[in-house]
Amino acid sequence: MNLVLDDLTAASPEAGSACSLENYLALPDHTMDERIAKARAKLGATTLLLGHHYQRDEVIRFADATGDSYKLCRVAAATDAKYIVFCGVHFMAESADVLGREGQQVILPDLNAGCSMADMAEISQVEACWEALERLGLADEIIPLTYINSTAAIKAFCGEHGGLVCTSSNARAAFEWAFTRSKRILFLPDQHLGRNTGFAMGIPLEEMVVWDPWAIQVGPSQGGLTKHSLDASRILLWKGHCAVHQRFLPSHIDQVRAKYPGIQVIVHPECRWEVCLKADALGSTERLIALVEQAPAGAMFAVGTEIHLVNRMARRFAAEGKKVITLDDTGCLCTTMYRISPQHLAWVLENLVEGRVVNRIQVKPSVKRWAKVGLDRMMEVR
């Protein structure tokens, strides 16, 4: 991964000129609205602004397209815009750069907007895992798949080793694709999505084992697993998770059903298996929205996903006589998504107006080649 932060020139933000980010961050959120709108108007069709569902309202309302990571990947791959401003997290901007066309430039408003799940699988750990599987004579019968919530380097690894990238929207199709080609799957980096997908396909829990990249790789134990357990497995799940979705517990479902009889519980498949087993339905963020959208007036939903999306759904569907609440009212905020503020957005847009590209995300060509193979396969598998 190669992050490029261009040099900035100092100027007064009040004068409308681009300057250091620190000057923007000192200003209130509401003072950015007019400036963002003005910069968007000046940039016109040269710039596409993408907003993930988990972004805060103050940012996402300026987006040209909103969606989950799968939908936004497809939008990024199809646009002719010269600049793609991605209000999401790092791996999403990387994917947009991989899928982008010659001359396009991808911008992430805050370079610190990462993903804790993606950080749970480093390329050196994945390579060490694969070497261990090769020593055990198992690599030839395993296809590596990675969730889109992973670095470009890991996407490239999967692409180069015959695998692909998937999202929560097409994880099952990706698993089916892999099982027609190999005996086993190594699934990175979210153990919960992998387990929930495998279980929905009828694969017993005992045939899905967890590879711990921090386990000592000596003696009979590899990734915390014995050769016997690896031989008996069909899915190797990487020991990773989403910090937001792992917060939801089976007790939350019990509590909300007791309080609201007849409520439907719908959750993201990044949630724990025990939570997904109790839920009425699972789905990607796009699918969760569709489930509420298609429900009749008077329907009630408790939704197990990031709080910004849940609150947005609650406001949107209240007008249709539908009640939407969060599954856990203690709050489930994606703090890295929240990092992108109106100030960050105004900063990058006003720099573009003045001809400067800041916070550009560039994936190294050697990584981009194979990452694109994995992402292209993702687009084909539905």
Q: Residue 88: pLDDT above 70?
A: yes
Q: Return the exposure string of 136-155: e unless at least 16 CB atoms fall within 10 Å of the residue's CB, then b.
A: eebbeebbbbbbbbbbbbbb
Residue 19 has pLDDT above 90, yes or no: no
> Which residues does 42 contact at the CB level (< 8 Å), separation at least 6?
353
Band of the pLDDT at 18, cuts 50, 70, 90? low
pLDDT of 215 reads: 83
Class of domain 118-242: alpha beta
Q: Which of 133-147, 174-188, 318-332, 347-361 has the lowest mean pLDDT?
A: 318-332
* 5 pLDDT higher than 70: no
Examine domains 118-242 and 245-331 and report if their fold is the same.
yes
Closest to 175 (Cα-Cα) out of 164, 162, 190? 164
User: Is the pLDDT reported for residue 8 higher than 70?
Assistant: no
Percent of the chain clearing pLDDT 70 (strictly above): 93
Confidence tier at 339 by pLDDT (50, 70, 90) = confident
178 vs 69, higher pLDDT: 178
Up-side HSE of residue 364: CA atoms within 13 Å toward CB? Answer: 9
Model confidence band, residue 4 (pLDDT cutoffs 50, 70, 90)? very low
* pTM score: 0.89
The mean pLDDT of 75-98, rounded to a whole number, is: 93
Instruction: Please state, in angstroms and as integers, the Cα–Cα distance from residue 152 to each residue in 3, 263, 364, following that order.
Output: 12, 40, 9
pLDDT for 250: 97
pLDDT for 331 equals 65
Q: Of 17 and 252, which is predicted with more confidence? A: 252
The reported pLDDT for the residue numbered 199 is 98
Q: Which of the residue ranges 108-122, 226-240, 323-337 would you say has the lowest mean pLDDT?
A: 323-337
Mean pLDDT of all residues belonging to the chain: 90
The CATH homologous superfamily for domain 245-331 is NadA-like (3.40.50.10800)
- Name the band, by pLDDT with cuts 50, 70 and 90, for residue 336: confident
Fold classification of 2-113+337-365 (topology level)? Rossmann fold (3.40.50)
Is residue 204 very low, low, confident or very high in pLDDT (cuts 50, 70, 90)?
very high
pLDDT for position 26:
84
pLDDT, tens digit, for every residue of 282-309?
999 999 999 999 999 999 999 999 888 9
117 or 335, which is more confident? 117
What are the extents of the domains in the chain?
2-113+337-365, 118-242, 245-331
How far is residue 65's CA from residue 96's CA, in Å, rounded to a whole number?
14
N-terminal to C-terminal alpha carbon distance within the chain: 28
Supply the pLDDT for residue 329: 83
Q: Which amino acid is at 243?
A: A
**Is pLDDT at 375 greater than 60 in this prediction?**
yes
